Every structure is written in structure tokens, then in C-alpha cells.
Amino acid sequence: MNAAASMQQEVQLAVSSFAAYLHQASRKKGRSENRQASVIP
């Protein structure tokens, strides 16, 4: 496996995990807005 392919795989994983985080955050937004603020540095 070359570097470009492994890098693409890492980016894909990061994007999917970020999408999952956004989905979770939007679902919980009404209840835990103060908690979300503490998660973001």
C-alpha cells in the first residue's frame, strides 16, 4: 500500500467520524449545549 492510499483511508475515516460526531451533536444539541462548548477547545 502506498502513502497516498493510506492517507486517503485516514482522511476518509476522519470524515466519517466527524460526520458521526456532527450527527450526534445535532441530535443532543437542545439538551447539552453547555457540554458541547466544553468539548470544543
- The residue with cell 476518509 is 12
> Considering the entire predicted model, what is its pTM?
0.52
Residue 15 belongs to what domain range? 3-39
11, 13, 22, 23, 25 from 33: Cα distances, Å? 28, 26, 13, 14, 9
- The predicted pLDDT at position 35 comes to 57
pLDDT at 6 over 60: yes
More confident residue, 40 or 1: 1
- The predicted pLDDT at position 8 comes to 94
Domain count within the chain? 1
Encode pLDDT of 14-38 as tens digits: 999 999 999 988 877 655 555 555 5
